[in-house]
Chains A and B, each alone.
Chain A
Amino acid sequence: MKTIVDVKSLTKNFPVGAGFFTALKDVSLQFNEGEFAGLVGPSGSGKTTLLNIIGSLDVPSKGEVVVLQRSVGKLSPKEAAKLRKEELGFIFQSYNLLPVYTVFENVEFPLLLLNMTAEERKERVMETLKWVGLTDKVKSRPAQLSGGECQRVAIARAMVKRPVLVLADEPTANLDSKNSHNILQTMLKLNEELKTSFVFATHDEKVISYLKRIIRLEDGKVVADELIAKPSK
């Protein structure tokens, strides 16, 4: 299987006062195409930091992270933006939809950055909204949606450009159990049908029960990396 993310001896330090706080210590990992994997660990274990670096939102202090043959630490801001624009999708804990835009417009936004024509955009957005079951909400604003619906819009926004890799940071943290399962089933379906890779940062048992690979982090170190032959869900 093709490797899409290669994390080599990654260390990440953050300045704190006169010294440094080390969020990740010598982490090495690989993610392959089509994975449904999760970075699991308590708060402060380094999950989000690792996700940010893989997503080229941050850079390594030491070591190297190669995403789709591009070394994140060596990318210019413009190249990093191009990588995110074309290949990566993000899903966040608090949805982060743009409140003044409709569901359609929120999902359309990544396609505008790709300079697609209006017709192409409409077709792609409607198709994506169909996957997440929101075709009847295209003209609604985020304030008119439930939490679960908002997160489905966020998934659609991440998926609309057909990314190779989706990075999801605590995607179910603000959802109830029923909505969490709905969301995870939607993502699992997309993973299986489109072969899109998903990497989660989570400590939610509901998410963990869907994962096909669990990487446990503690104090910035990988303490376990296990493949789940048959996820419980």
Chain B
Amino acid sequence: MRRLTQLGTALGLLAVAALAFAGGPLEGVTEKQATNWHAIIMFCLFVCMTMGITYWASSRTKSTADFYTAGGGITGFQNGLAIAGDYMSAATLLGLTAMVYGKGYDGYIYMLAFFAGWPIILFLMAERLRNLGKFTFSDITAYRLDQGKVRTMAAISSLVVVCFYLIAQMVGAGQLIKLLFGLEYNVAIFAVGILMMVYVTFGGMVATTWVQIIKACMLLSGGTLVMFLAFSQFGFSFQTLLEKATAVHALGPKLMYPGSLLADPVTAISLGLGLMFGTAGLPHILMRFFTVTDAKEARKSVLYASGFVAYFFNVIFIMGLCGIIIVGQNPEFFEGGVVGGKIIGGGNMVAMHLSKAVGGDMLLGFLAAVAFATILAVVSGLALAGASAISHDLYARVIKKGTASEASEIRVSKIATICLGFVAIILGILFEKQNIAFMVGLAFGVAAAANFPVLILSMYWRGLTTRGALFGGYGGLVSAVLFVLFSKSVWVDVLGNPAALFPYTQPALFAMPIAFIFAYIFSKTDSSVRAGKEIEAFEDQYVRAQTGYGAASASNH
């Protein structure tokens, strides 16, 4: 009953938010007024549906396994959709379309780098993750090492990655909603934060997964529809599309050449490493490997997820190219009606304008609702990953040393979710002016340097000891953050110093080797008794990783 009243309060809050959506014209986006209602109605439908699911899920979320991993009972196909949903954030839809629109072929290179990590995750990690882990990826790194120290390290780096990623999503949400719904930036941030708290605290992983699945279906169908309508204007001929696009684009024939974004080799390679191995170190993605019944389903999830992701990236590539002609040549979408000027709402709005151009207000409303739903779903997944790092790793294993009751662990994770929700709101407001793509890149860079090296070593290298894992993990984390801090993007652009201390913007190429070398040297030189036992314990871990015997099984539902 208490849950019902709480849910009621949350819905009430939402109604207030909806009223605010309907508020008068704001920020000179009056021409968007007519479209607002479509977006609001569709978005409210999405929220109602997901709230219904959250209510249903809350009755099924009793144990910690339910809360963190939906009881491990999600099928491979469902999980594949959910992973794709987690991976394709609003930055993907809006940011990559904008990148293709502005830089042409460079955007496509980015997409391949985002995609290429998936096969590697499948071949080298998926089944071991499922066989060794229970709720968080720290279960694996700490499997045979010092629980307290290694978990603390893994939880800290998880939280750092989650926070950077949260900033990117929250800022994106605020800007998008401000433009599309004519809502105040701060109000939009609060709406996202509060909805996320409701989904995660009441529904746990069950609700988060279903929100993710619904959103992935909406995103895939919405994107496909826009692409189809836009591409039809060129008779579905790639030749015609490119002829017209290169004819009108400022880059001309250079549009289809690798260009300015990857001007120097070091940046190109570093970015490739960061995006590829960052994927394999994102806590909210890794967590999804524990929601399926066994390694078989875990493999299937990757197959489906990577299929959806690959398909959608190609859709986005076509969308971006179509946008060059359909949006880029239409004065309606430029401030002051001057073609070639500033796009209304900023560069990230190309996908939105394209949907309006090819499908009118109805399609724009749908895509806007999809984008908002996307942000909401990704933020929920992130919050759950962050909350589990706090409650499962720090609270239950480090502070309580495994003696915490399930009820108290769930309570802590709910409190943690609410705290993270407020942290997200505050960060979203503080970083309003920050570049979203940059924050996402940073999150990937830190994930690649802080999480991935220790995780892969703990699964593959018997010689890894607690000391090595700690030095490797903290070394990767600190160096990745420092490299970014001293790079031009922060040291010069944000802090206003005259020259960058570190010449490159992408940390992965430098921070990843530091993590690996530290882990190696400090493991090799560790001759303690404890280290000897840890190396011995690898044998059993290895058999379990290979066979799945003793792996956490699905709870009965």
Q: Do A and B bind each other?
A: no
Binding site for A on B (CB under 8 A): none
Binding site for B on A (CB under 8 A): none
